[in-house]
Each structure stands twice: as C-alpha cells, then as structure tokens.
Amino acid sequence: MNGIHSTAPRQLCTFELGDMLFGIDVQNVQEVLRYQEMTTVPLASSVIRGLINLRGQIVTAIDMRARLALPPRGGEEPPMNVVVRTADGVMSLLVDEIGDVLDLDATTFEHAPETMTPAVRELVVGVFKLEGRLLLLLHPERIAAGGSTVQRPEEQS
Amino acid sequence: MEDDPIREFLVEGSEHLDELDRSFVALEQNPTDKVLLGAIFRSVHTVKGTAGFLGFAKLEALTHAGETLLVKVRAGELELDVEMASLLLRMLDAVRAMFAQVEATGTDGDDDHIELAAALLAVAHPDAPARTSIFAAARASIAAAARISIAAGARVSMPAAARVPFQVVAPPPPAPAPPPTVEPSQPLADDVGGAKASALADSTIRVDVALLDRVMNLVGELVLARNRILQFGTRVNDAGFANASQRLNLLTTELQEGVMKTRMQPIGSVWSRFPRVVRDLAHTCGKKIELDLDGADTELDRTIIDAIKDPLTHAVRNAVDHGIETPERRRAAGKPEVGRLLLRAFHEGGQVNIEVSDDGGGLDLGRIRARALERGLVTSERAARMSDREVSHLIFEPGFSTAEKVTNVSGRGVGMDVVKTNIEKIGGTVDLSSELGRGTTLKVKIPLTLAIIPALIVTAATERFAIPQVSLLELVRLEGEQAQRGIERVHGTTVYRLRGNLLPIVFLDRELELVKEPRAHDVVNIVVLQAEDRQFGLVVDGINDTEEIVVKPLGKELKGMTTFAGATIMGDGRVALILDVLGIAHRSKVVVPGRERTAADGAAATRAAAEPKEALLVLEVGASTRMAIPLAMVARLEEIALADVEQSGGRQVVQYRGAILPLVALDRAVGAEPALPSEGPLQVVVYSEQGRSVGFIVSRILDVVEDVVKICVGTEREGVLGMAVVQGKVTELLDVQGVLMRDEPGFFRRAA
C-alpha cells in the first residue's frame, strides 16, 4: 500500500485537453472563466500564452497543451480558463473544455502508468480510475516550475 | 486570541532591543550619562517584566541578570567598561534569539543562556570571593526569578502549566506593573520619565503592516479605476460627468499621496543597527572608527527599505574592513587614529541619495587594474583604455577582491557585486568615487517608490509598452529624409548622431522579436534612455502619453524575463508590459553586463567579446624568426631580383617606381639568426609614410591573418615591440618606427 491514498483529494475540478481528462484539487481552483483577452509576452516560451486582467489582478495564462507537449489546439474554439491558486501565486490554465466537479473515491487512486510521456508524467501525481477512462490528477505547483516557462535565451555572441 | 499579547510583546520588545543596541553603544562613549542609563534601565526592565507576565521564565531570568548589572552602574557603584558593554550586547543578542523562539514555537526555547547570565551577575558582583559561589549565586538568583526549583545540573525548562493561558481583555500596557514575584526590590525612580514617554506615544498609533499593504493595494486599484473614468470622460460630452470625474481625479491623487506617505519610513530605521555593527566590526578588526549618520529622517517606501538593508550593511562592513586603515597605518600616514565613516541620505532629483563615505585608504586603481588582469576580467588593451571611473567599478565584478587577507568579515569581495545587483534590482544605481590615501565614497541612488510610477506609453508592432520615466532622457522624432538616413551603421553598430555623439540604437520591435524583418518607416521615433552610465536610443513605432501607472509584479512563472520589470493595467483594462530598461540594454549588448565575464572564461571570453581584431602580415625573418606587422602598415609586397639591388652610400637600395627605395634587412635589424644566402628573389615588404617608402627584406611571407593582438611579454630586443600569440604560435611584433629610427634615420629627416 502506498501513502498516496491517504493524501489523494476528494473533490476535483476537471477539464479536458484533447482526449485526456485532468483534475485539480478544488481547493487550488479559484474559478473558471471563458476565454479572456490576453496580452502576449514577447520572448517568453510558448507555454506562456499571455497575461490576463482578472479584476485588477494580472494573471499569467499558461497554455496547458504546450505545457504537456500535446499538439496545439486546432479549430476555432477558444480555450477556457481554469484559474489556479498555489503558494506561489495565481495563474490561469488554458484548457479545451471545462468538466464537472467530481467527488472521488480514494480507493480508485493509483500511480501514473508508465505509458505517459515525460511532459505529462512530470505534472501528474497519479490517476483515478473512472468508468471507461482515467482522470489524471495534476500537481499545480509543478505547472509553473521548471525552466520551461523562462524566456528564450539570448543569442550567444 | 492567545497570540495577540505575545505578538505585541515581540513587536514592542524588538523596538526596545533596537533602541538598546544604539543606547549601549552610545553609553560606551559616555559611561556616566544618567539620562541614557535611565532609558536603558527602563527598557530592560520592561522587557523583563512583560516576559515574566507572559511566562517566559528563561527570558525573564536573563534580562534580570542584565538588569542587576545595570542597577549597579546606574547607582554609580560600578563604571561601565568594555567587558560589561560587550556582555550587555550579548544579552541583547540572546534575547533576540529567544524572541525568535517565541515567534516560532511560542516558548522561549531550550537555551537558558545560563553562562551569559552568570557572567553578567559575576561582573555585577566583582568582589565576590570564589567563582563557584558566584555561579551558585547566579543560579539561585535565576531560580528565584523563575520560581522553579532546579535540580542540580538540570536545565531550566518550562512546564506547560506555568505558561499563562490567555483570556486577555486588553493587551498588556507598554510598561506593565512588575509581577508580584521576582524582585530584589528596585524602586522605579523613573516613573516620571515613563509618563512623559507615553504622552509622546499618543500622537502616533501602531498599525499592522498587512493592513497598510491592503490599503495601498486598494488605492492602486482606485488609481486604475480613476484612469478608466478619465478615459470615458474623453468620449462623453457631459459637463456634469466631467466635473465629477475631475473631482474624483483630485481626490484620488491626494489619497494616493497620503497613503504612500504611510508607507514611508525614515531610513534611520535601517541605520539604527549600524552603530552596533560598526562598533563590533571595528573591535574585531582592531580599528578605531567613528560613525556619523546624516539624514536619518530621510523617508523611503517600506519595500525599498527592505531591499537596501543588506546592500547598505555590506557596504558599511566593507568600508570598515577594507576601507579604513588600522590606527598604526593611519598614524604613519599622518591621519588621525580614529577613522571616520559617514552615512548620508537626502532627497534629490526625485530620488533618494545615500552615500557611504570613509576617510580610509581609498581605492588603489593600479592594484585593481592588476588584479582584474590577473583574474582575466579584462584584456590588457581594455585595461589600458579604461577611465579611472571604469577601473574603480571593476570592484563590482563577481569574484574580485584585492584584500590581502580574505577575512570572514566581509568575505571575498563577492559582496560588492551583490550590493550593485541588489540596488539595480530595485531600479537604483551605484557609483564610486575615491582618492588614493584620502578615502572612498559609495553613492547610491534609488527611486522613491516602486508602487506607482510615471511612465511613457509607447507602441511597437501594435503592442503597448510602458517605459519608466526615471530612465527617460529625451524623445527624438525623425521625419522624411532624416528618417531614412538619420540612423547609420558605424563599425557594425547601429547608431544615431545626437548632437555630435553616437547614440547606440535598439529597435524595440526587433529586440522583442515581434517582427521578422526590419521595415521602413516614414517617421522614426527614438526614445533616448539611460541604463547604468550609458545612453542608448530605443526606436518605437509610436509614442503615446505619459501616465501614472500602478506597477504589478510579474508572476513567478515570468521571473526570468530580464526585459520586463512588471506589468500594469491600462485605462482600457488591457494589460501592458513595463520595460526593464537595463534588461533591454543588456540583451541588445548596448551595455555589457559585467556578470557575464567570469574568471573561468578568461582569455576565451575576452576574445569572444567585441574586441577589435587586427589584420596582420605574418613573416619569416632570417632563418626561422616569426614576426608580424599590422597589415595597415604594409603598402605593397614586392619580389626584387638580387641583380637589381645596388649599393649607395653603404646602404642597399633599388630603383623602384621611378624613385630610390632604401632597403633594410630585417634579420639584421632585429638581431635574428640570418638566413642562408639564396639566389632567389628578395621578398620585400614596402612601408610608406607621407610619400616616403622603405623596403623591409624578409625571408618569407607566411600569411595574412586577423587576430586580437595582445602583447603578452615585453622585450628588450631592439626593433621588437613584444611577443604575442598569433595563429597559436609565438610571434614577435615588429617595431617599425624603432627599426627605421635606427637604420634609416634619414627616413624621418627628409622634408615631405
């Protein structure tokens, strides 16, 4: 038995990216919004889509497809915002669709399967087995961490 | 509710401690100052009393020991000496440590500082017969104060029951009546002083800092809302609305100014710790130093005060450790034994100026230059071309230290680099001026506040950006033909001639990679900016207004972006990025960031930096000597048949292009091993100057290369400037002038 079961959250806010279903502990989710106008940040990596004005607070919008190394969103549908709050601050995750808030049974929680890509595995704490599909539990602090979000390097002379 | 009285205790206690730091140092200078002694006694007594009231027995015991000593000093029975002062200061440190414990754990910790307390009591009872009995007396006294019986050797610990659980109606008053236990009776002769002090306290109130921050944030939001209303006002043609929005504008501005003032703190709050720091440090280094503080009431925003605490402390430590000389050296130099350290703060030009001056030995530019060369921080040519000011700024390079002994006091000189970085991080500048033998002054300039700043709004590739006005020097607009030709390329750099000076130019849209190719414009807008001590021009598409913007920091995800200092919300609700002028200057290489030059990279890095390479002609002279001459000095390379060489007046000459060309055999001229005589044609390098020519005979032309010429080793050899590494091989540099002066003196004498 592993200790994950005891710390797995019970209520998750869920969203979809492609055909994958993700979830974040509701305690970390401040709100969900439809597409917001963004100001792009020149020189930032493609993970940073821009800055949003959230009632006077400037929030960074993270393109979750880019962050999880998934192919870019096709089509005309604008992304939705999942505003996440961690110890490091507030940021908004750009996702395809917002799902429901689900109550989950800790016994359905498991380690992430080995078949995941490294980019996904980096952010996923574990999975909940739902009927017919997996719900991937995300670690919100890890989304902003790592060099993936820093500006593109200057040319070396 | 249990926390409030304890927090109160910690906050007030810390203030008492800071005050006591200053007072003890002052007391050392004036050991009999009654007023000072009274104030000190009151503070210590207060801390002790409240500690006892709150059940912090160890804290109470320690301060009791200090109080015992102070009572005797105040009564004139003992005179304060260095040992006593040091003990009392150590007591303050221990009390601070215990405060930290209280803050972290709610108890005063496990360390009862019994040795320190015993030492204080021992010094307070100097004629006690034996040490052991003093120790016992100390323990007994402390035990009595703590009202806990100590088993022999057991540490003093605080049973939970003794800690007073709190249902306090009101927080304890600043000077509580001493708890009914404890005392050797001490009359509080200074009650009158206490009453006066509280009268003064009534005109100020204590406000929680978090509350102030919230209010400040709200005012920031109000400023944004005001901006939006004003924007609507330009579109709506209603007199009533215009009036109302004007009134709102006025009120918001005043409110903003008022609230900013609440966040202003006098710089004295940072300086208050310096007398103690300087005293301790001077003792450690064996120096005598007098500290003067001028302008302690100069006010700064709280956030800035936090940011400059460490850099200033380090600058002060540096001045004490490395700046001011020992008394012996000062005497030998004819200076007063006591060194002077002056800290000045004042407002000027919309900024706060802070100066740290010492009358020490000053900066030895020669040693700094030498050390920088040693460390590979500059090339010898760069060093030769640097101004005095640039050389003195070398001490801000990381890894630099000219201290003979690296002390653990101020470290390896890494600190000065950190000082500069930290000051620049908040938008400030540092400057150094120094006179060898007389002293050094460090000048720091920092903005008044970080929260709300005036900024110029510009556009580049349809995106809006804000440029802090503090970096703005002027605006230049080029139209028509000037727009086409005003911006030139000189030596591979894009520049604009601004009143005779070449201003490096950076295109904002290209620098931020917003456009792929440069575009031509009818109108060119140049924003002239200041970064460190350099100026450069930023070309933008459009210039909007100057506005007051609220600076919002970028999230942790964007912390690594050097080109942006933050973001703001414009009047239309959209987000705009604030440019970091210094960051842009670094990125576009207009200003070379010092940090990139590390000792490890050494010659390779300096070579990669924009050092001009010279074109060289590499030759073989004599049998095997490798030499080089700047290609710029070579007029032509010729092959001359031996048969054409004639003798004239003891010299070899040849008829050449209608004139007589004197020949100089270089192998003889530089004392190189002569080549074997050959039948083939002579290889001649023709040098011309002002219509006169001379031909240098060499053995072979080896190559033409471009390389950085760095003279590694000087030489005494005639005709040779020195040795350098060219194409990876040791090569001698020909001293053309020298050879001519010796072998062809007539070259220079003949009239043009």
Contact B565, B580 (CB under 8 A): yes
Instruction: Tell me the pLDDT tens digit for each residue of B36-71.
Output: 888 888 889 889 888 888 888 888 889 888 888 888
Q: Give chain B's mean pLDDT.
A: 77
Chain B residue with minimal CA distance to A142?
B557
Query: Considering only CA atoms, which of B746, B735, B393, B434 is closest in space to residue B594?
Result: B393
Chain B residue with minimal CA distance to A36?
B574
Query: Considering only CA atoms, which of A92, A22, A25, A19 is closest in space to residue A54?
Result: A92
SS3 B513: coil
Chain A residues with CB-CB distance to B568 below 8 A? 58
Instruction: Tell me the pLDDT tens digit for each residue of B179-233.
Output: 443 333 333 333 444 444 444 445 778 788 788 888 888 888 888 888 888 878 8
Q: What H or E segment, with its residue span, contains residue B490?
A: strand B487-490
Q: Do B575 and A44 touch (CB under 8 A)?
A: no
Tell me how far apart the alpha carbons of residues B239 and A117 are, in angstroms, rounded to a whole number. Answer: 63
Q: Tally the residues of chain B.
A: 752
Beta strand segments in chain A, E: 11-17, 20-25, 29-33, 48-54, 57-63, 80-86, 89-95, 97-103, 109-110, 124-129, 134-138
Residue for token pair 């002002």: B690
Who contacts B505 (Cβ-Cβ below 8 Å, separation ≥6)? B487, B494, B495, B496, B526, B536, B537, B538, B539
Residue B560 in contact with partner chain A when CB distance is under 8 A: yes
Chain B residues with CB-CB distance to A58 below 8 A? 552, 554-555, 567-569, 575
Contact B20, B116 (CB under 8 A): no
Chain B residue with minimal CA distance to A143?
B557
B 207-266 residues inside an 8 A Cβ radius of A: 221, 224
Chain A residues with CB-CB distance to B589 below 8 A? 157
Q: Which ipTM score applies to this complex?
A: 0.88
Full DSSP string of B412-446: TSHHHHHHHHHHHHTT-EEEEEEETTTEEEEEEEE
Contact B544, B457 (CB under 8 A): yes
CA atoms in the 13 A half-sphere facing the CB of B329: 14
By mean pLDDT, which of B64-78, B546-560, B615-629 is the weakest?
Answer: B546-560
Residue A27 in contact with partner chain B when CB distance is under 8 A: no
Chain A residues with CB-CB distance to B561 below 8 A? 41, 43-44, 150-151
Task: Pick B557's closest partner by Cβ from A37, A43, A91.
Answer: A91
Q: How far is B104 from chain A (nearest CA, A)?
A: 20
Tell me how far apart the alpha carbons of residues B363 and B413 are, in angstroms, rounded to a whole number. Answer: 14
Residue A92 in contact with partner chain B when CB distance is under 8 A: no
Q: What H or E segment, with its residue span, contains residue B473?
A: strand B472-479
A16: exposed, middle or buried (Cβ count in 10 Å: 0-12, 13-18, 19+):
middle
Q: Do A157 and B589 touch (CB under 8 A)?
A: yes
Q: Do B569 and A62 touch (CB under 8 A)?
A: no
Percent of the residues in chain B that have a pLDDT greater than 70, as a whole number:
81
What local confidence, expressed as pLDDT, does residue B600 receive?
Answer: 28
What local confidence, expressed as pLDDT, does residue B15 receive?
Answer: 85
Residue B677 in contact with partner chain A when CB distance is under 8 A: no
Query: Considering only CA atoms, which of B719, B691, B705, B699 is closest in space to residue B635?
Result: B691
Q: Do A58 and B513 touch (CB under 8 A)?
A: no
Chain A residue with minimal CA distance to B568?
A58
Residue B554 in contact with partner chain A when CB distance is under 8 A: yes
Task: Pick A60's closest partner by Cβ from B555, B560, B610.
Answer: B555
B 430-489 residues inside an 8 A Cβ radius of A: 463
Who contacts B250 (Cβ-Cβ below 8 Å, separation ≥6)? none
B293: exposed, middle or buried (Cβ count in 10 Å: 0-12, 13-18, 19+):
middle
Look up residue B364 and give its two tokens.
């030895």
- Side by side, the strands of the sheet bearing B542-550 are B542-550, B452-460, B463-468, B575-579, B564-569
Q: Do B561 and A59 touch (CB under 8 A)?
A: no
Residue to test with chain B: of A38, A51, A57, most B Cβ within 10 A: A51
Q: Do A60 and B557 touch (CB under 8 A)?
A: yes
Percent of the residues in chain B that have a pLDDT greater than 90, as a whole number:
10
| CA of residue B472 relative to chain centroid, distance | 22
Q: How far is A100 from chain B (nearest CA, A)?
A: 27
Who contacts B664 (Cβ-Cβ below 8 Å, separation ≥6)? B694, B695, B696, B697, B739, B740, B743, B744
Per-residue pLDDT of chain A (157 residues; tens, 9 = 90+): 344 445 556 899 999 998 899 999 999 999 999 898 999 999 998 899 999 988 778 899 999 999 988 888 887 789 999 999 987 788 999 999 999 999 988 888 888 888 888 888 889 988 998 888 889 999 888 887 654 444 444 433 3
What local confidence, expressed as pLDDT, does residue B194 receive?
Answer: 41
Termini Cα distance of chain B: 99
Burial pattern B76-101, b for ≥16 Cβ within 10 A else e, equals eebebeeebbbbbbebbebbeebbeb
Distances (CA, A) of B522 to B465, B480, B528, B541: 21, 6, 19, 10
By mean pLDDT, which of A36-40, B283-287, B709-713, B729-733 is the weakest?
Answer: B709-713
B651: β partners: B648
Which phi and psi angles does B303 have, rounded to 5°?
-65, -35
| Region label for B657, one of left (φ > 0), alpha (ψ between -120 and 50) or beta (otherwise) | left
Tell me how far apart the alpha carbons of residues B455 and B447 are, in angstroms, rounded to a whole number. Answer: 13
Residue A153 in contact with partner chain B when CB distance is under 8 A: no
* Structure confidence at residue B575 as a pLDDT band (50, 70, 90): very high
Look up residue B202 and give its two tokens.
């009534």
Chain A residue with minimal CA distance to B611?
A157
Instruction: Tell me the pLDDT tens digit for each residue of B689-709.
Output: 777 888 999 988 888 887 766
Contact B672, B621 (CB under 8 A): yes
Tell me how far apart the alpha carbons of residues B652 and B643 are, in angstroms, rounded to a whole number. Answer: 12
